[in-house]
Structure 1
Amino acid sequence: MTDSYEARSPQGALSRRALIRAASAGVLAAAAGPVLAQTAASPAAPPTTITNPPRDFSRRGQPTTYFWDPDIIAVDPSFNGLAQPNAAIQRLWTGGLWVEGPAWNAQGQYLVWSDIPRNRQMRWIEDDGHVSVFRAPSGNSNGNSFDFQGRQLSCEHLNRRVVRYELDGSATVLADSFQGKKLNSPNDIAAHPDGSYWFTDPPYGGQLYEGAPDAAGGPSNANGKINPRLGQLPGIGLAKRELPTNTYRLDPSGRLDIVATEQQVPDPNGLCFSPDFKKLYIASTGKGPGDTGPGGKGDIHVFDVGADNKLSNQKLFADCMIDGINCGPDGLRCDVEGNLWASSNAGRNVGYNGVTVFNPAGKVIGRIRLPEVCGNICFGGPKRNRLFMAASQSIYAVYLATQGAGPG
């Protein structure tokens, strides 16, 4: 009699207790199933980015809070301790052309990112969700970060340089050349506690859409048919690519050194340090404009960082292949446990774009699926437990059960 009473009310309807029991059983059964491969959802399953019609992330869309969000996938049980079960992926803003370089300002409690083709930076304010133009022009900036003093660092495609915005509002050019040759188009940057800055220098700014191609005869404008000066300020469009795609360290003294060559990591893109700063991760992406070599393969490399600031013991950390699909990495960030979070660009392979999460050994432990290609990510929020994702035209966010390591 007790079981019958608990299961149904006098009117025959399921009781709340029975519903919770059934739901818990369903969650456990789902958790025990395969989670790495892309699988077709059953009719009763929550909507996902691969259902038809696709999930609607707008405020007019259907509710998205399930235990778990259907687009947060635990590939390994260890991911369950990093994701927040009752937190849903949210689209905070849309309307960009190609958004990149999200960075969190802890003092101001705001997120800044680049809208590269529009030559501007945008800002989202934590307290009311207001979005506005933060800086225009931005030099077609790509990657942004904040250093240990709270100063914004920006990698400018158009001006082929790295700049720092000082606390008094002025700007300092940190690096624009190496051994007398102009940089290609700095892409992403990470601050080190010793006051140095580490950045990558691939050639992606040599596109009309994201910066300015080379002057006539340069690698990205070999036949000279493109006029790179159109629509630009005086002095832009006169440079030619002169350097390989290297990764650099800028010493506090101002000295610029190569830490990883093009031969080691071709077309380097996103980079980040492990929480203890003893390892450096670098994403190697696809062939860029003007490349004469094979280009990157869409993988992630890891190095040991020595006390002398030299990199050694290079290893292939991850080939970023899931179900035979290259989930091309771009932006990288580590959490406080040392797990690596990498944005995923899988092109038209819907359901594989978003974020791939690796443990320190390089094993895929989790995935976040987005309906757009994801270019870069960062941790932020007052508790630094929110992952912000710059994905093609939009900014997405989700709360986590862990925190990001380091500033920016």
Structure 2
Amino acid sequence: MGLGVVAMGSGAALAQTPAGPAAPPSTVTTPPRDFSPRGAPTTYFTDPDVLTVDPAFNNYAQPNSAIQRLWTGALWSEGPAWNAQGRYLVWSDIPNNRQLRWLEDDGRVSVLRSPSNNSNGNTFDYQGRQLSCEHLMRRVVRYELDGSVTVLADSYDGKRLNSPNDVVPHPDGSYWFTDPPYGGQLYEGAPDAPGGPSNANGRLNPKLGQPPGIGEWRRELPTNCYRVDPSGRVDLVVSEQQVPDPNGLCFSPDHRKLYVASTGKGPGDQGAGGKGDVHVFDVGTDNKLSNQKLFTDCMVDGVKCGPDGLRCDVDGNVWASSNAGRAVGYSGVTIWNPEGKLIGRIRLPEICGNICFGGPKRNRLFMAASQSLYAVYVNTQGAAPG
């Protein structure tokens, strides 16, 4: 009888042993993490969707910071840029033809500009002026501090640009931008005039729903990268042969290197298009580029994490937005050290189009992802404004 009592007591004790805390929900759990304000807490200390691949990343991840979805409701979010004086974030909702603004003080989102000419990439220069790449008008513009607009570039060698995608400022007063063809489509801009590469059979009417003058251009240039000199001259700096379908770009902290992302085939492309990788160039004192190298092929665990927007932190690590298509758990952000080694990842439940560092200390990573805007604090700062 005594043995029976002991055995029974032992079984009861075993049955009551706590199993330990359940793992927090993440992008890849079932059910997946709820990123809305109604979602359950996601962290015990570290966010489950901020992943350390190399121990070096522990120096850059902020352990007690969680990824937040700040807003949702766009059709395709792109081009986040931080205004340090106004303490707001501006980004593009390309198909909705508007720029949105998130205010840091109360988290309110409002329309900053509508129409935006289907703007894509945005940033702020060293004088605090906003730069925007316009798909519809096929140009790069600068919003002056008095509210007027200056056209920085709309053509090269007498030919209209394709659809400028991303732009970065240089301390010498120049602006560098990419010019792939992604705006030459109905959803994000306007197709070519009949007979142009993105409307070769002429079945599409690019003038429908557009103001006068739109729909009369056709693609004339390869997909190049350009530099706008302070004098206004536009120079070709990276050719299509070097980096086909260039997309995001950024400088290293010392401006001695330029990183350029090559994305997939665009509307009207006759060649193979980009390969979903990132290239790096040395920048000479004469602004000429040399010593091109493949920085990363963006393959992670056998999955192609197609790059789009790029930003460097103050230590020269490259933070790249990731488009992994249907490979759930690989879209978001990949982080590479200056030698091109993957050190960390941030998983999002949506494809990430572009990123920027912001916040008063420039230590908050904002991520424009498909329909939503996300943010997470990090233990580093962005190397450039906007």
Range into which the TM-score falls when normalised by the shorter chain: over 0.9
Alignment equivalent of 2:362, drawn from 384, 394, 400: 384
Give the structure 1 partner of residue 315 of structure 2: 337
Secondary structure, aligned partner of 1:234 = coil
Q: 1:66, 1:109 → 2: CA distance? A: 30
Identity over the aligned pairs, expressed in percent? 80
Q: Is the CA contact 1:66–1:88 (under 8 Å) kept in the aligned structure 2?
A: no
Distance 2:290 2:218 in 1: 31
TM-score if structure 2 supplies the norm length?
0.95
Q: Which residue among 62, 70, 74 is the counterpart of 1:92? A: 70
Aligned position for 2:112: 134
1-side partners of 2:178 and 2:43: how far apart? Answer: 38
CA distance in 2 between partners of 1:201 and 1:300 (Å): 16
2:49 to 71, 76, 80: 71
SS for the counterpart of 2:25 is coil
Matched, 1:160 2:138: yes
For 1:255 and 1:304, the matched residues in 2 are separated by: 21
Partner of 2:24: 46
- More off after superposition, 321-330 vs 57-66: 57-66
After superposition, the C-alpha distances for 1:277-300 in whole angstroms (9 at most, x for unaligned) are 000000000000000011000000
Cα displacement (A) at 1:175? 0.5
Aligned residues: 370
Runs of 4+ that moved beyond 6 A: none
Is the 1:119–1:138 Cα contact (8 Å) retained in structure 2?
yes
Indicate which of 229, 233, 236 corresponds to 2:214. Answer: 236
Normalising by structure 1, we get a TM-score of 0.89
Query: Could you say which residue in structure 1 is the equivalent of 2:330?
Result: 352
In 1: Cα distance, 2:296 partner to 2:108 partner: 37
Q: CA deviation at 1:376?
A: 0.1
Structure 1 equivalent of residue 278 of structure 2: 300
1:317-375 CA deviation, whole Å, 9 max, x = no partner? 00000111100000000000100000000001100000000000000000000000000
**Structure 2 counterpart of 1:174:** 152
1:1-400 residue pairs with structure 2 within 5 A? 44-400=22-378
**Shift of residue 148, structure 1, vs aligned partner:** 0.2
Residue 301 of structure 1 and its aligned partner are, at CA, apart by: 0.1
What is the aligned partner in structure 1 of residue 3 from structure 2?
none
The separation in 2 between residues aligned to 1:315 and 1:155, in whole angstroms, is 26
For residue 160 of structure 1, what is the amino acid of its counterpart? R
Q: Distance in 2 between the 1:198 and 1:337 partners?
A: 22
Deviation at 1:224, TM superposition (A): 0.4
> For residues 90-119 of structure 1, what are the alpha-carbon distances to aligned partners after superposition, in whole Å with 9 as ceiling and x for unaligned?
000000000000000001000000000000
Matched letter for residue 119 of structure 1: N
Determine if contact 2:26/2:42 at 8 Å carries over to the other structure. Answer: no
The SS at the match of 2:198 is helix
2:224 partner letter = N
Q: Deviations over 1:177-220 (max 9, x none)?
A: 00110000000000000000000000000010000000100000
Q: SS of the counterpart of 1:220?
A: helix
C-alpha distance in 2 between matches for 1:45 and 1:400: 22
CA distance in 1, matches of 2:254, 2:36: 38
Measure, in 2, the Cα distance between the counterparts of 1:253 and 1:79. 41
Give the RMSD, CA atoms, in angstroms. 1.3
- 1:126 and 1:45 mapped to 2: Cα distance? 31
